[in-house]
């Protein structure tokens, strides 16, 4: 199987005055299409920096990052922005919904940037909200929804354009345990159905249990990669 993401000897150094901080130290990994991969580590381990590299939000100091064979580390700001719009969805811990917009309007935002016409956007947003169990919530604003409902809107927004890759940064960090379980089961079920690649960043081992592979990061290095059997992922 041809890999979707190839990370080759990525190193990231931040300069703080005279001091050099090595956030990532010669990290390499290959990720296939349709995989659910969890990057797990404590605060300061380098996992969020690694996510930023994979999403093209930051450039590595050294090394290569290829997505679908495209060396995203070489793309300028305009090209990487277009690449993200077409290929990547994001799910955040703090939801990052715009408070003045309805659920439907929040979900359709990625389609606005793609230039999709309003009629099509509205239909796609409704379909996405239905897939996360929020039919009837289209006109509600974030302040009128619970945390779990807001995160479902966030999932619908990330998936509405059928991106190849979804990055989820501590997606259940603001949710209670029961709601976290519901959101994780929904998220993983949906990406599996469309053969999308999901990369979750977390410090929580219970979240990592939903992944096909668990990549433990410590001090900017990959400490271990745990392959999980399919039956282990069944909930």
Is residue 21 domain-resident? no
Is residue 53 domain-resident? yes
Q: Where does the pLDDT of residue 229 fall: very low under 50, low under 70, confident under 90, or very high at 90 and above?
A: low
Is residue 16 domain-resident? no
Is residue 175 domain-resident? yes
Please give the pLDDT value at position 232.
55
Q: Each residue of 190-208: pLDDT tens digit?
A: 999 999 999 999 988 888 8
Is residue 184 domain-resident? yes
How many separate domains does the chain show?
1
Please give the pLDDT value at position 235.
46
Please state the rounded mean pLDDT for residues 72-80.
Answer: 94
Q: What is the extent of the structural domain holding 125?
A: 34-59+76-233
Q: What CATH number did the domain enclosing 214 receive?
A: 3.40.50.300
Q: Each residue of 35-67: pLDDT tens digit?
A: 999 999 988 899 989 999 999 999 999 999 999
Is residue 1 domain-resident? no
Is residue 4 domain-resident? no
Provide DSSP, the chain. --EEEEEEEEEEEEEETTEEEEEEEEEEEEEETT-EEEEE--TTSSHHHHHHHHTTSS--SEEEEEETTEEGGG--HHHHHHHHHHHEEEEETT----TTS-HHHHHHHHHHHHT--HHHHHHHHHHHHHHTT-TT-TT--GGGS-HHHHHHHHHHHHHTT--SEEEEESTTTTS-HHHHHHHHHHHHHHHHHTT-EEEEEES-HHHHTT-SEEEEEETTEEEEEEE--GGGG--
Q: What is the mean pLDDT of the chain?
A: 90
Is residue 121 domain-resident? yes
Q: Each residue of 108-157: pLDDT tens digit?
A: 999 988 888 999 999 999 999 999 989 999 999 999 999 999 999 999 99
pLDDT at 24 over 90: yes
Q: Where does the pLDDT of residue 97 fall: very low under 50, low under 70, confident under 90, or very high at 90 and above?
A: very high
* pTM value surpassing 0.95: no
Please give the pLDDT value at position 233.
54
């Amino acid at each position: 199987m041809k890999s979707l993401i190839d990370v080759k000897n990525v190193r990231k150094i931040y300069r703080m005055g005279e001091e050099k901080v090595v956030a990532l130290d010669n990290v390499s990994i290959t990720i296939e299409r349709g995989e659910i991969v969890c990057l797990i580590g404590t605060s300061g381990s380098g996992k969020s920096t690694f996510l930023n590299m994979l999403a093209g939000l930051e450039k590595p100091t050294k090394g290569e990052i290829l997505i679908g064979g495209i060396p995203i580390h070489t793309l300028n700001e305009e090209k990487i922005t277009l690449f993200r719009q077409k290929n990547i969805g994001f799910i955040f811990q703090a939801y990052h919904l715009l408070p003045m917009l309805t659920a439907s309007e929040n979900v359709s935002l990625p389609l606005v940037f793609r230039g999709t016409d309003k009629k099509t956007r509205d239909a796609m947003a409704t379909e996405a909200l239905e897939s996360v169990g929020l039919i009837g919530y289209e006109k509600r604003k974030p302040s009128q929804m619970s945390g779990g409902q807001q995160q479902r809107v966030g999932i619908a927004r990330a998936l509405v354009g059928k991106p190849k890759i979804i990055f989820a940064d501590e997606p259940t960090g603001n949710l209670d345990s029961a709601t976290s379980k519901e959101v994780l089961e929904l998220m993983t079920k949906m990406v599996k159905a469309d053969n999308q690649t999901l990369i979750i960043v977390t410090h929580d081992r219970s979240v990592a249990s939903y992944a096909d592979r668990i990549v433990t990061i410590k001090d900017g290095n990959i400490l271990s990669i745990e392959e999980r059997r399919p039956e282990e992922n069944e909930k």
